[in-house]
Amino acid sequence: MDDRTDAVEESRQKNLEARVWLRMLACSNLIENELRERLRTGFDTTLARFDVIAQLARPPEEPTMGELSQRLMVTKGSITDVIGRLETAGLVERRRDADDARVQRVRLTARGKRLAARTIPAHNERLAQLMRGFGRDDLKALDALLGRLRAALRAANDS
């Protein structure tokens, strides 16, 4: 029985990176699915639209389409599609940059600002509810660890 227990533990240690990745992915999927459903039922919007609105509601104001795609880590084509839909809905508007007419800047309309004022606090409150099982110290520690992981991953991708 000890040999079996040792083998299981050895296997768990060998696959630790894969297990951590799968747990992070599972947690991300669980949270994302919950938030997606809340936005759909509570605000008749999608997570992609919310993400853009939330980015536009924070500084710096009037980012370019390229800056938005970088912030959200999506392609410029994806941003163009979402912005087009938000523009049709009257939630955002695009304007040419004063210094470079090739560049489009995006901003929330008054209607978009009202939607942001309702959705962002509800979104943040739901996240807080989902993570209530963790104390502030646990969340700070997890934040620090994930920050280190992100930095290590960026460094590995840059090399």
DSSP 109-158: -HHHHHHHHHHHHHHHHHHHHHTTTS-HHHHHHHHHHHHHHHHHHHHHHH
- Report, as ranges of residue numbers, the positions in the chain whose pLDDT lies below 50: none
Q: What pLDDT is stored for residue 14 in this prediction?
A: 80
Angle (deg, nearest 10), helices 16-43 and 47-56: 90
pTM beyond cutoff 0.75: yes
- What is the Cα–Cα distance from 75 to 28, expressed in whole angstroms? 20
- What is the Cα–Cα distance from 118 to 39, expressed in whole angstroms? 11
Q: What pLDDT is stored for residue 13 in this prediction?
A: 73
Q: What pLDDT is stored for residue 28 in this prediction?
A: 96
Q: What pLDDT is stored for residue 5 in this prediction?
A: 73
Maximum CA pair distance of the chain? 74
Residues, the chain? 159
Q: What pLDDT is stored for residue 1 in this prediction?
A: 57
Location of structure tokens 């090739």: 102
Q: What pLDDT is stored for residue 7 in this prediction?
A: 64
